[in-house]
Amino acid sequence: MLSTIIPQKTVCVLLSLALIFSGCASTPRADREIPFTGNYLTYHQANINVASPRNKVLWQYRAAGTAIRRGEHALAKTFLDAALASAAAAYGQPNSDAAKARGLFKSEAGKPFYGEPYERVMANFYRALLYWADGEPDNARALLRTAALLDSGTVDKTYAADYILLDYLDGFITAKLSGSPDAGAGALARARASAALQHVPAPPDYDLKTNVHLFVEYGRAPIKYAAGQAGERLWFTVRKGPVRHVRLHVAGQTQAVPAYDDLGYQATTRGPRVMDHVLGNKVAFKENTGMGADAALAIPSLLATALANTEFGIGDVPAPYNPPPPARPPKPRNSHKPKHKDDHDDGSDIGAVLAPIAIGIGALVAIGIGASALSNATKTEADTRAWENLPRHLCYLPLSLPPGTHPVTLDFLDEDMQPVYLQKQTFTITVPATASSFAAGHADIIVFRSQLHD
């Protein structure tokens, strides 16, 4: 009988709230992804063409990483220039999708991807090497400094702008452009301080006769995943591969190629992001509305149970015994005699008592459904999209080689200094005899090698 007493308006309110709050949540529609057919560069390029604005930079990053490893420098520059231009245009500027991602009912993954700082640093780092290889060290230095700036926003300033190679190469280019090692002394000191903090070898003094710069990368980038009670924390799994050391054989000499920067270290030492605080507030809202919904829905259930077990008394107290009235003769078939005052229907009195209770129960149910809908619609998950074909370790070795063609062997070694199976690389370095306008020395030769194959 209780259900027949709840007003129709209450039912309409419940349905309206359910519809409104179910429409609050917004999960970004997945892009159509072109299947992988065996060629990573083709795969990345195809997905750039179909990607939405929120994922285009991500695919440009991936394509650039593959292109630079294959020696497709023109393609790598095209992808990096487009990605860096998009990231620079968005830096410090309001973006509607990014602003919406801070809202309670929008996912962080709905905003355009520009990467975590270590990813943006690598885009600038790769482009800097390409500028340097093209004989534009001043542009290379500008991007190295931009990368250092991107790494300066850490919570613990001990880890701010602590990439060893960014400072070291900045100082080297400054020293060589000026013709004096002292010009880069400040950058060299910063690089060595970061190396000491990270327990890696200190980079060497600047030698302006250096004409070959060997860059080697190995290992796999950290994996992002959503952690925390509601997936609101962006955490990283730092992967360990078989390679631990790199060794070079050239011009009759064998040298170690030190690993200076570790992207796993960089990803895990930044501390909480601004977005982590936003997501934390979303979690608090989700929990509070969820608890409110549980309470609001529990009370009507208890009341309904109590009323279902009550006839028309107070709780389970038995009603006093009233003997039945004396029997009356049957009424004539078509009699219009008004009812006796004792013949009234008790249902009207019951309805008068239960109607306010039913309305209150309906209101509580409405509140409970609304709070539950709000809680379920709140999007707390961290964005785990990633530039996954990045390396983990960045190695560097400056060389002074005479003009000519030099056969080179590069060994990737395990922790016992034994060669890792199928990881040996052989190639040549050609040093021209012509002079360059880059200071007074020979042109710098930039050599880039990767243990990754994509």
Of 257, 270, 260, 152, residue with least CA distance to 197 = 260
Lowest mean pLDDT among 208-212, 248-252, 271-275, 332-336: 271-275
Summary mean pLDDT of the chain: 80
- Looking at residue 120, its pLDDT comes to 96
User: Which residues 6+ apart lie within 8 Å of 243 measured at CB?
Assistant: 218, 219, 412, 413, 414, 420, 423, 451
- Looking at residue 122, its pLDDT comes to 98
pTM tops 0.85, yes or no = no
Q: What is the mean pLDDT of residues 129-140?
A: 96
CA 197/CA 45 separation, integer angstroms: 40
- Looking at residue 227, its pLDDT comes to 87
pLDDT at 437 over 50: no
Q: Using an 8 Å Cβ cutoff, are 208 and 192 in contact?
A: no
CA 382/CA 225 separation, integer angstroms: 8
- Looking at residue 449, its pLDDT comes to 98
pLDDT at 213 over 60: yes
Q: Which residues pair with 406 in a beta bridge?
A: 429
CA 171/CA 188 separation, integer angstroms: 6
Q: What is the mean pLDDT of residues 314-325?
A: 55
